[in-house]
Structure 1
């Protein structure tokens, strides 16, 4: 695939500015860094172990954003979106080593893309893999995301990824009438902080909440997760 940098840069902007109002589990400065590295290394990436997962995330951003282009998608654009999805699949099939957050995020993006294609059963099947990887990495537990070795970006991305997956789990259960994967009794993970991406410090410094900013874009995703908790109780009772 010959990827024009200007076109794909526009897709990255479209993804963050429009495509994901409540599923904001990707950190924009991190993605922009991976995007620059992708073109500087001609797709090889500097961290060879994490390269497949990082590249898969980028391809899925392209695929989802392609679905939200204006004007409405042509048949050529729809085919391109599918090619990005298959390219991400190819990258994920090359993965090796331990479970990485980026590989979970890439597959979670794939679930969202499949929903946009009305392929809900395929989404449900893939979500089974996502949920097991989440358990393996301990994203559902607070104690796994509060170590001194983690940066604030890592901590926030782990929280965001889990709660987005939790909300999707409840949605799929409601839509398909099938049991949920996550059990509320197993979860003690905190909600993400209500702070924008650019306000998260890159190191281990504590978060600060700028007083001169308006409502954070994370207010929507956090509220969505809280509503999903209510839905979870309804599903448990009914």
Structure 2
């Protein structure tokens, strides 16, 4: 994407200045031009599949999804999956592969964490596409054994391991939590309904505890009151939180309503929380649409 930006800006006759800022409307209307150049760069790349090429195509799939080109997103992601299998991102490093299963305080720690993050991001995207199209996903539990990424921020990561202990505010927590929701609450294997409810309740409690510790600037204030950078972060964080709330509580909403009073008292708060999350996410999306209309 960066290379595409560099190849287009001179052609548009815009002088490059360190302090130059593109207007929001200009960026919005010219995003496809940048993306087309990025596609040309990846399509013309003659090199073998690599971690960087997988990451580039995952970004392309996400862009297609964000612009409602779902079929193109699916085709692009399908080819990306083959590249993931080709370079072995779905396999854990161990035995005669790589540095072993315990890579903590080993060389290339940052590289291994980047591989794990890329793979599990692809797994989450695979689940989303499979649910959207109603078709089986590419990744199954019996074909992958990759470990989840460690909860370490980029600035705390060294070549041999974390350079400082986690402070409990790692942004990778979201990816790990989302993966747990997909694999434990929405597993394809047969799970008793009571077990599914217990797992969803436990993960929901962890999600509520996480929200309590989110910095106040991203949790308390309205996004419209914040600076542009923090406004985007607060909006994305709010939408992601609502999405997780809906995913966790949806089994309580879709399952048959119990006749037992005790079971109803347990089920009703979960259903109300799910409905509130749906309402909050809709309000945030409407707010985003109004902001775009005012650009």
Q: TM-score, normalised by structure 2?
A: 0.52
Please tell me whether the aligned partners of residues 54 and 84 of structure 2 are also in contact (alpha carbons under 8 angstroms).
yes
| 1:120 and 2:58 aligned | no
Please tell me whether the aligned partners of residues 110 and 161 of structure 2 are also in contact (alpha carbons under 8 angstroms).
no
Partner residue of 1:164? 121
Alignment RMSD (CA, Å) = 2.8
SS at match of 1:184: coil
The structure showing larger relative contact order (alpha-carbon pairs under 8 Å, at least 6 residues apart) is: 1
Residue in structure 2 matching 1:132, options 82, 87, 102: 82
SS at match of 2:64: helix
User: Size of the alignment, in residue pairs?
Assistant: 172
Partner residue of 2:147? 190
Cα 1:175/1:88, change in 2 over 3 Å: same
* Separation in structure 2 between the aligned mates of residue 155 and residue 105 of structure 1, nearest angstrom: 14
* Separation in structure 2 between the aligned mates of residue 181 and residue 86 of structure 1, nearest angstrom: 27
* Separation in structure 2 between the aligned mates of residue 188 and residue 5 of structure 1, nearest angstrom: 47
| 1:222 and 2:229 aligned | no
Partner residue of 2:241? none
Cα 1:229/1:6, change in 2 over 3 Å: farther
| 1:207 and 2:214 aligned | no
Cα 1:153/1:227, change in 2 over 3 Å: same
Residue in structure 2 matching 1:146, options 84, 99, 107: 99
* Separation in structure 2 between the aligned mates of residue 128 and residue 214 of structure 1, nearest angstrom: 35
- Once the two structures are TM-superposed, the CA of residue 151 in structure 1 deviates from its matched residue by 1.3
Residue in structure 2 matching 1:2, options 2, 9, 13: 9
* Separation in structure 1 between the aligned mates of residue 162 and residue 17 of structure 2, nearest angstrom: 33
Cα 1:104/1:177, change in 2 over 3 Å: same
Structure 1 gaps, min length 5: 11-65
